[in-house]
Amino acid sequence: MLFEDIWKILTNGELMGYYFQGFLHTIIVTFIAVGIGLILGFAVAIIKISAGNYKFMKIPAVICNLYTTVFRGTPVALQLFIMVFAVFAIPGFKPAAAIITFGINSGAYVSENIRAGITSVDNGQMEAGRAMGLNWLQTMIRIILPQAVKNIIPAIGNEMIALLKETSIISMVGSTVGTLTFDLNFASRTAYKTVTNYLATGIIAAVFYLAVVYFMVFIIKIIERKLGSNDKRGKHI
């Protein structure tokens, strides 16, 4: 019965079209949100950390703290509704508003990952740079960040994977075929109208999600390996 239903979907061009469209939209939404999250998270982390050195960064740092507290402390679904139906209640702007929400939400987590990565670098590295006459920013960019990246990449990888799965709630704000809110999850719900078997429609969506996650893990592993070989060179000669 199950295999029969799965087969029914796989051989149905229209349904598979929905799945591929959803697959593509899920990737696009995740990709853009990850980009927003990375840029925002990086900026917020640097602002928070620089407040220890530059007095004029104190107020921006307070704002950043408020931001991370709010966005990590409330459900994404709630944020999505508020952003789509209140903050950005502009006709036709729904998919963009949703993507921005995921990006901002992700940025809050990413900033904490980056901050933790930076603070895990021995403080002596900053002191040595400063003692030689580099300023804070120069030391941060050339000495601290390159060492922090190794600690940050795995955490950011996990965050990206979590974000991919989080985007599955995007259709909660309403979804129509052909717009970015029509994601993998909604494709499987659409397929259910034809093949009334949640297990079958779900399994196919799951396979698509797994494929993306697997691909992400693969990329992260490559990056980690590249970075890992950098400053350990010479250790095993």
Partner 1 sequence: MINAVNIYKNFGKNEVIKGASLNIEKAERVVIIGPSGGGKSTLLRCLNLLEEVTSGEVILDGKLISPPDAYLHEDILRLSKTYKRLQKEGKSDEDIISEIRAKRLLKNGEGFAFKRALKETSAKYGQDINVARRKMGMVFQQFNLFNNMTVMQNLVYVPVKLKVLTKEEAKKKAENLLARINLSDKKDAYPSSLSGGQKQRVAIIRSLMMNPEVMLFDEPTSALDPEMVGEVLSLIKDLANEGMTMVIVTHEMGFAREVATRVLFIDGGKIAEDDVPEEIFSRPKNPRLKEFLSKVL
Which stretches of the chain bind partner 1, using CB under 8 A? 122, 124-125, 127-135, 138, 142-143, 146-147, 230-235, 237
- Amino acid symbol at 107: G
Describe the crossing of helices 198-231 and 13-50 by its angle, rounded to 10 degrees.
40
Q: Phi and psi of 4, rounded to 5°?
A: -60, -45
Closer CB to partner 1, residue 119 or residue 147?
147
Q: Which two tokens stand for residue 221?
A: 């592993």
Between CA 190 and CA 4 the distance in angstroms is: 18
Quote the least distance from Cβ 234 to partner 1, whole Å.
4
When the beta carbons of 72 and 142 are compared against partner 1, the nearer one is 142
Residues of 117-129 as b/e, b for ≥16 C-beta within 10 angstroms? bbeebeeeebeeb
CA atoms within 13 A on the CB side of 53: 14
Q: How far is the CB of 156 from partner 1 (least distance, A)?
A: 19
- Tokens linked to 200: 């079958």
In the complex, what is the shortest distance from the CB of residue 133 to partner 1, in angstroms, rounded to a whole number? 4
Q: Which is nearer to partner 1, 134 or 213 (CB)?
A: 134
Nearer of residues 176 and 230 to partner 1, judged by Cβ: 230
Q: If you ran DSSP here, which 8-state letter would residue 135 be given?
A: -
Which residue's CB is nearer to partner 1, number 73 or number 234?
234
CA torsion sign for 128, 132, 133, 138 is negative
| For partner 1, the closer CB: 147 or 158 | 147
The single-letter DSSP state of residue 170 is: G
> In the bound complex, what is the minimum distance in angstroms from residue 143's beta carbon to partner 1?
5
